[in-house]
Amino acid sequence: MHQINSVVVLLVSCSFLLANGQLNYYYYYSSCPNLPMIVQYGVWAAMKNDTRIAASLLRLHFHDCFVNGCDASILLDDTKTFKGEQNAGPNSNSVRGFEVIDNIKADVERACPLTVSCVDILTLAAREAVVLSGGPSWLVALGRRDGLTANLKAANTNLPTPFEPLANITAKFAAVGLDLKDVVVLSGAHTIGLAQCFTFKHRLYNFKGTGQPDPNLDSSLASNLKASCPNVDKSNTNLNSLDVVTTYKFDNAYYKNLVNNAGLLESDQTLMSDPQTASMVKSYSMDPYLFNMDFAASMVKLGNIGVITGQDGEIRKKCGKVNR
């Protein structure tokens, strides 16, 4: 009887530990107990040096997970014989934060050699970036393994662009198991960070070929943006706040901006002009707690896309290249 009870207890605790397939919350509990602290310190130190880096790390995680699943494929550098994802259209001269992950990985290797995957480090770093920016926290189940390859073509086709309609963006999310609500919620990541002028310039000068500005763009924001993004090619890479009110604070101002026609990207403002999503935008603009809760839940979904576990993939020594 006593034995049967222990078996039951064991089974119950196992199913509690298993979050998604083989991922679990205590994966490195004994093999790398300081992992959470090391990642937290690394992100904190990077943010002290560069306020924008939190946003960049969050986006790096998103761009990893949308291509071949969360497998750190985006971290693989190009070589003479290998074309990775870093030069794909949505990534090139745009995603950043590689050195931060490399530095954290080096610290983790010193503490627990060949134990922790780069993809788990990136997943934890994205969470810390949100937390240290004032956003919500969530539990990250661990045990993802690093991929052995990358997919340049998928990076060019699977990642959403700010130039496509909501239906196309939704389709790209659906392809990785995310729904319309996830699109609205995860777009809230644009509450932190910056975007280059070319990603929204058409809204200032020639919206949908009309030769006119986007009617859903607040006129005072538009005039500030025109000053930063004059209608010449050389302004294309100038940077502007995705959330002009609290650029580096993770809050619900992004949604308030959308309600006020002050979203930066066309793909942002569309969430307010499309009747399918406007009510969600309004809810999040009024309820920061609801946004935090839903954002945490959607981030867990994002971090579990197509993960490699068990004996598949590997634990990379260096995040920029496969071991052999």
Ligand X SMILES: *[C@@H]1O[C@H](CO)[C@@H](O)[C@H](O)[C@H]1NC(C)=O
Is the CB of residue 229 less than 8 Å from the CB of residue 201?
A: yes
Compute φ and ψ for 299, nearest 5 degrees.
-65, -35
Is residue 62 part of the contact set for ligand HEM (CB under 6 A)?
Answer: yes
Compute φ and ψ for 51, nearest 5 degrees.
-55, -35
Query: Which two structure tokens, joined as six digits, stand for 79?
Result: 């070589």
Which partner in ligand HEM, ligand X, none is near 20 (CB below 5 to 8 A by kind)?
none
Query: Which two structure tokens, joined as six digits, stand for 165?
Result: 């309609």
The length of the chain in residues reads 324
Is residue 164 part of the contact set for ligand X (CB under 6 A)?
Answer: yes
Binding letters toward ligand X, positions 50-69, x by CB under 6 A: x-------------------
Catalytic residue among 2, 61, 63, 202: 63
The correct pick among 101, 155, 195, 307 for binding ligand HEM (CB under 6 A) is: 195
Compute φ and ψ for 241, nearest 5 degrees.
-70, 135
Q: DSSP labels for 87-144? A: TSTTTTTT---HHHHHHHHHHHHHHSTTTS-HHHHHHHHHHHHHHHTT-------B--
Q: How far is the CB of 158 from ligand X (least distance, A)?
A: 13
Which partner in ligand X, ligand HEM, none is near 181 (CB below 5 to 8 A by kind)?
none
Positive or negative: CA dihedral 87, 93, 95, 98: positive
Is 63 labeled as catalytic in the residue annotation? yes
Q: How far is the CB of 6 from ligand HEM (least distance, A)?
A: 42
Query: Which two structure tokens, joined as six digits, stand for 19?
Result: 């979050």
Is residue 93 part of the contact set for ligand X (CB under 6 A)?
Answer: no
Q: How far is the CB of 105 from ligand X (least distance, A)?
A: 14
Q: How far is the CB of 49 from ligand X (least distance, A)?
A: 4
The site for ligand HEM (CB under 6 A) is made up of 52, 55-56, 58-59, 62, 94, 96, 160-162, 169, 183, 186-187, 189-190, 192-196, 199, 242, 265, 267
The site for ligand X (CB under 6 A) is made up of 46, 49-50, 99, 163-164, 168
